[in-house]
Each structure stands twice: as C-alpha cells, then as structure tokens.
Amino acid sequence: MPKYSFKANVRLKDIIGQGLINNSNIAIIELIKNARDANSKSVNIHFSAADNIDSSSKLVVQDFGNGMSFDDVIHKWLNIAYSEKRKNSTASFAGDKGIGRFSCDRLGKTLDLYTKKKNGDLIHLAVNWTDFEVDDIEKEISSIELFPAIISDAEFTKKTKLEKFSSGTCLVIRNLRESWGRSELPKLKKELERFIIDPNETFKVYLRSDDITNKKGKLIYNGPIQNKLATKLDDKSISVRASISEDGKLIKTELRHYGTIILSYEEDNSYSELRNIKAHIHYLNPPSKISFKSITGYKSFEYGSVMLFFNGFRVMPYGDPKDDWLQLNQRKAQGTMRNLGTRELFGIVEINDNRRKFSPVSSREGMENNLAFKQLADLSETEDPKGALAFTPNLIRVLEKFVVEGIDWDRVNPKSGNYSRDEILAALDSFISSQKRKTLLKNIYVNERKISEIASQKIAEYDEFVHDLTERVKGKSVYELTPAEKRDIKKYVVRQDAIVVQKEKTNKAYKRQVVVETKKRMYAESHLKPDSVRYREMTHHIGHLSKEVYRDLRKILQNYNENNDILVESLIEKIRSSFFQVEKIRKLTKIITKSGFDMMSDMHKTDYFVGIEEYINEIMNVGVTWEVRVQYENASDIKLILNFSPLEQAMLLDNVLENSKKANAKKLIVKAHQDAASYYLDFSDDGRGLNAKYDVEHLFEAGITTTNGAGIGLSHIKQITEKLDGKVSIFNNKEKGCTLRVQWSK
C-alpha cells in the first residue's frame, strides 16, 4: 500500500509570514523579542531611505547577543517553527513559537542575515522572499535553495557599511513592503514605548531614522526608547499595587495616594497557577490626565489602559485604546457612578513566567485562555471555588472601593456631602471586611495621618470650588451659562441633595441612638445606689441565700438521721433546690465583681430586652463569654415590660452560653422579635445541635443532658422563664446549631 504524507507548499511562507504576522509594528517587536531572548543587552532599529518604498529602502535590526553558528543557521533558523527556547523549561522567554524569523518577510522582500557566535565564524545568509511567492502545486517550500556562507568581517563592513561585531545577529531588510515616514514612525515609537518595560534597564532599544529631521536638520528619531510611565506616574495619581511572590505563597497589596502608602496588607495566594506577578493600576482624574499628557506626549485615552506584559514585553492587543480585555467599560455601563472605565484607568500587569503556565497565541495577539489566564483576568468568578474574582479585576475593585466610596470628590458626591476622614476610613474598613470574608488578611497597615490630611485638603478644595462657581455664575441667567458652568452647577446640586438625604438619615439614626441611650441610662440609673448601700444589700442577699442553702442541707441531714430509708427522689429534689441557690450566689459574685451592675434579686419592672442587651455588652467587655462571640439584634426596637430579677435574667443567659460552649459553638445570636400573638427572644448558636437520643420535650427535665454537664442548665432556664409567665422551646437550625426560644404571649 503506498504511503503519503503532508507536503509543505512554497506558499506556506506567506501564511506564516505576512499572513500570521499581520502588522508591521508587531513584526519589529518580534525581532526585538528575539534579540532579548538571545541575551543581548541592546538592539538597534535603523531606517534608511525608508520614507518611500523603492529598491534603496532599508531597515537594519541588530543585536549583540549569543548569535548563531553555521549549524545553527542550517538546522535551527531554517527549520520552520523550531524553537530552541522550548527546550529550556526553566528560563523565561519573550517568544518561543519559532515563527519570529518570518517577521523579516513581513517587513521587506529581501533579507541579508549576518550572525556570529563569540569567537566563531561570521555567517551570511541571503533570502529573497519573492522566490517563495509562486503559484505551483508541485513546488514545495524546501525546493527553494538557500546558500549560507562564512564571510570575513571586512566583507560584512563593505556590504553593510556597519562596524564589525564580536557576537550577535544583524538583519538587513531591503525593498521594504511599507514606508516608514512622518506618519508611521510616531506610531512605531509610541508602540515601542508601550511595548517595553524594563525598570532595571537591563535591555535597551535604540530607534534611528535617517530620513526624518526637524527644522534645524537634526534627526528626530535617534535615541533609546523609554517607557516613562513605569516610574513617573506613581506620584501623579492614586494607584494600587500588588505582587505575587516568586514562590507563589503570598500576595502583597498597597493602596497609594500620589506616591504615599495609605493602606497595605498581605494575604495567602489562593490562585493556584499564579506566581511572580506584579501589577500597578492608576486612577486618572483630570489632574492625573494632564500629568499623563506631559509625561508621554499623548492623551491617556489615545495611549491605552491596563496593559499586559509577558516576560518583559507587552502582549497585544491588551490595553490598546479600543481594547477592553477586562470588560471595564461594560461594568461602567452597569454602574456609571460606581465603576471605573478604560478612560479613567492606566495600568501595567507583569507576568514573569518560567513555568510555562501562560502561552501567547500564534498570532502574537493575545494569550491562550487557559486556567492561568483565567485566574489572572477572567471576570466570570467561576474558576475559584470561593467565588473570588481573578487577580487583576480584584485589584481594580480595591481602587474603585477607595476612589468611589472613600474619596470620590472628582466624580460623584460623597455619601455625607462632606470629605471626612471617618468616611474614608469607613470605606477602607468596608473593603477590608469584604476581603476578610474571602481570605485572611494580615499585616494590615492604615495611614490614618495621611488620610486626615487628604480629608482636610479636599474640604478646602470643595470650598474653593463653591466660591469660584458662585463668582462665575453671579448675575447670569440659565441661558447665559456655559456648558462647563452647567456641569459644575449640576455637580453642586447633586452634592447638596446628597447632604440633605444624609442629614435625614443621620437624624433618624441619631434619634434612634438617643432612644437607646436613654433606655440604657434609665435602666442603669434605676439600679444606682450608694456604695455603702450596695455593699449592705450584697452582703444581706448573699447571707440570705446562704441561709436557704444551709436550711435545705440541714433538713436533708435531719431527715436522713431520722429515717435512713429516705426516698432518693426527695433527696435529689432538695439537692436541686440547693444547687439553684448556690448558682445564684456564684452568678451574683461574678456579676458584681466583673460587670459593675447591681444585679440583685430585687424585682424591677422595666424593658426585659434592654436588660438582655446591657448584660451582653457588659460581659463581652469583660471577656466572660466562654470564648463564644455573642451578637444582640433588635431591629424593630421592640419593648417588653416585665417584672423580673436582673440576677435571674443573667443566670438565664449564662446557662445558654454554657450550653453553647459545650456544643462547641463559636457564635451566638440573641434576637428579639415579635408577631401578632407573641414576643420572642431567640438564642441561636452554630454548635453541633441537639442529640437525637432525647425527645425535645424531655430536655428541660432536670438531669437530662446532651453534653457532659449535670443536666441542670435547661431546667433552670425553664424555671426562670415560667416565673415570668413565659414558655421555652428548643429546636435545631436548618444549617447548623440549634435555637432556644423564649416566648411571651401578648
């Protein structure tokens, strides 16, 4: 049976070259990547007679890196799609697809390649790309013969008019396919400025054109390309920075206000595929945009937004003016005043990847949408089991939280209508709290002094804005106002409206707080007595309870001496009664010494729910909650007037806490609520719940326990509740833990 295989037609060159690399700027960038990957410290890009397309037009791209030997040229450079870089699994390269060499075809019709390894021969290879541009079904790409040869340094200098070099590669591209004049070179320079990020200056790109001069005859393009934004924009804007450590264990985040850190924190890295990544994103308000223009020479919206860099070089089209790879404008359309769009943000995300987790696509325009890229940029929130945002979108949320909710003086009104330190801190606290729900933050730092300065500065700026606006519109009718004045008036009106709304909210909150504080004060004052009186009453009451215990125990002994066959049930009942009195003494001593309340057994007719809230606050303050976090809720401010003993009220709550602790609960929510028929006080914990061993109705019987206790706590709770004409029940929660409910009929 005959055998067949793929054939590579000569036109394959067009697909890989001009077809795949479909932009001349990208083609030059590919050659720069190759120079950097060859360990060159610099690369020269030199145009001659390139402002017009003819036989004399020339582009020279020269690096001074490792260079190639004769065998390298034959077996590697001429081997389509082969890349030696892929063999190195630990080094990070800007490109490794093996197609960058076809950038030369994109740029010009002919190529003279000169390359030399250190102490090696100088190799010359001439390629006429038009030889491959024939339509012949039988003609394969391997049928086009090429003739690499060893030449001398003198021959190289004579042919190129360039100086000899010790190692590296020099590409002389002639018969350019496009002109490079006054309209093309500014675009190339801009692209190169956006393309290179090298803050340590380990690699330089030099651009020269012999064709473009200024009025004095001086070359306009003749010097190094610099990404000025990498270092100069930080103190001109509000920004957020984050980095994932090289070992992938830790994420560090900083929020900066014109270069000064106002918030920083660390967290464990939850992104399995991400490590050795840096990002800084800037909020561009009007002053920042002016600074941007002065630094770059371009308006920010013309330059781009958040750009992605891979192993030192930019990945296109991410961050181009019309590209929105992070869907910023889509979010902004959903919440114009809440979210930031591409015109308000500029940023750089740097990937340093030597593990091959990220992969540029073959077109050199974007990255493969694999797990690593999703964890970096995906907005679907589906990749992380906790529903967390990807790394870059989450970083933008940090900036939005601060700008929009904390110091939003440039876009919308602050919530209170004023610029306050407390408001900024509240926004930061809100953000930190939201992050804590997703991960554990550590080493948190908040620069309150700087925040106070920011608030004071913005108050002064707003006052100046109002004064200036008043002067500008004085005496003008609405028809005489300029568009800018109308916008400023709208901004002022919106802010004043926010002030009114906030004052109404503040008044309501203040009135509510006054009511609460008044009830607390009345409750406290109802128990205030001179120290001597308090001491006498305390001593008297403890003595009275002790006498009761003494009497009960003495009666037990007398009965036993008179009748050795005393019923066990009778004996147990007396012990329970004594235990209850001893429990009162124990609680009374702890309350008086730790809480400062006069929780005597005297009956007081007052709001039972306020008493519960007061006692919870007091025991939380002095740390006697058995390591259970207690939270009180009374959203409707319900009142329940009862004649009760504060001591027994404290006993009830202490018994609930004790049971929650034994059930390994970490949180107890105490909630007051009502319906048409009853008042309720629910104690809901997140412990292990009720034991199915016992029926619920039997749990309140003395001696029955689902823990390792004495089985007295629930019976005491029932006893105390029934004295207040209430009833008690207990049931498991739907998710976790159980709820003890005390109920009073209306």
Question: Distance between alpha carbon 483 and the CA centroid of its chain, in Å?
Answer: 38
Residues of the chain with pLDDT under 70: 1, 3-20, 81-100, 134, 136, 138, 141-142, 197-201, 227-231, 334-338, 362-365, 379-388, 405-439, 458-459, 494-551, 557-602, 618-626, 693-694, 697, 702-713
DSSP letters for 685-710: E-SS---TTS-GGGTTSTT--SSSS-
Helix axes 448-473, 421-436, angle to 10 degrees: 130
Instruction: Decide yes or no: CATH 3.30.565.10 for domain 529-745.
Output: yes
**pLDDT attached to residue 63:** 95
* Amino acid in position 357: K
What's the 3-state SS for 268-294?
ECCCCCCCCEEEEEEECCHHHHHHHHH
* Amino acid in position 347: G
Radius of gyration, alpha carbons of the chain: 39
Spatial CA neighbour of 324 closest among 277, 377, 361 = 377
Q: Could you give the CA distance from residue 657 to residue 615 in angstroms, rounded to a whole number?
A: 12
**pLDDT attached to residue 544:** 55
Residue 676, CB half-sphere, CA atoms under 13 Å: how many? 0
Q: Could you give the CA distance from residue 146 to residue 603 in angstroms, rounded to a whole number?
A: 108
Task: Name the 3-class secondary structure at 535.
Answer: helix
Q: Do 12-226 and 529-745 agree at the fold level?
A: yes
Helix axes 531-562, 568-590, angle to 10 degrees: 170
Q: Could you give the CA distance from residue 240 to residue 484 in angstroms, rounded to a whole number?
A: 31
For the record, the structure tokens of 641 come out as: 């007037």
**Residue found under tokens 């203040």:** 510
Q: Which CATH class is domain 12-226?
A: alpha beta
Q: Could you give the CA distance from residue 741 to residue 735 in angstroms, rounded to a whole number?
A: 17
The structural domains of the chain, with segments of one domain joined by +, span 12-226, 230-454, 475-524, 529-745
